Amino acid sequence: MAAKHAIGIDIGGTGIKGAVVDLSSGELVTDRIKLATPEGGEPGDIVATTKELLGKIDQSEGDLVIGVCFPAVVKNGRTMSAANVSKKWIGLEAEKLFEKELGRDIHFVNDADAAGYAETRFGAAKDVKGVVLLTTLGTGIGSALINDGVLVPNTELGHLELDGHDAEKKAAYSAMEREDLDWKHWGKRLQKYYSHLEMLFTPDLFVVGGGVSKHYEDFFPYLDLNTKIVPAVHRNNAGILGAAALASA
């Protein structure tokens, strides 16, 4: 019998948050707990804070499966990069480290992949056939590639080269803030980025996540694409939902 609930934990550069998730509806069935990510983002400190957070989540149902998402390329449980956390994560057997300290098996994934999967199971990409590309526009650009509901992990499409730069250096929301761009001029950069993605993948749907997606009406009008583009549904909870859902998949 399939599990009804699972725990999702989303580790970010500034906060670590988690809750129990209803796997049929995508709703949180406990309060969302959030703790600050320790200064410096060192492995030992983040694992200790994650353990503290897990202890605060209502686990009256017993031992639920746990999914953890993290801002890094994750390959066979090893973190191959590090975004907004200590570089000591690079090359680390992170999944084993968490399992040892938490005393539990976990499912460990990239944070943008978790967000993309959440939108596929519970949000804007639910029941969409074909290729879905989720991009999170924030400090950088995270990405998730999904084909017929199947996640292709670690795409890292924010690092595609455009005009001699990583795309995220020019098209992330942080670039808009850093260079004091208005919506129109930032929209032109997004147009170039999404046109490039269209050329490479011919997707059936773009889903735009990240905090700025709540302002989609300010920049979507400046995009002229062949692909339908929609805002994400689960912004702040997407990592939690996707990590939980992938842990029970």
Longest dimension (CA), the chain: 53
- Neighbouring CB atoms inside 10 A of 156's CB total 19
pLDDT single digits (tens) 193-228:
999 999 999 999 999 998 899 999 999 999 999 999
Residues 196 and 243 both lie in one domain:
no
Sorted by sequence, the CB contacts under 8 Å of residue 135 that are 6+ apart come out as 141, 142, 143, 157, 158, 197, 206, 207, 208, 209, 210
Q: Do the domain assignments include residue 183?
A: yes
Angle at Cα 219 formed by Cα 217 and Cα 222, nearest 5°?
115
How large is the average pLDDT for residues 59-81?
93
Residues 132 and 209 in one domain: yes
Total number of domains in the chain: 2
Q: What is the pLDDT of residues 145-186, one digit of tens each?
A: 999 999 999 999 999 999 999 999 999 999 999 999 999 999
**Does the predicted model carry a pTM greater than 0.85?**
yes
22-39 pLDDT, tens digit each: 999 999 999 999 999 999
Record the tokens describing residue 179, joined without a space.
């260079």
Range of the domain at 152: 126-231
Of 137, 162, 156, 118, give the one whose Cα is nearest residue 28.
Answer: 118
The pLDDT of residue 1: 54
Q: Are 248 and 6 in contact (CB under 8 A)?
A: yes
pLDDT in the model for residue 139? 87
Mark whether 143 and 98 lie in a shared domain. Answer: no
Q: Does 195 share its domain with 219?
A: yes
CATH number at residue 28: 3.30.420.40
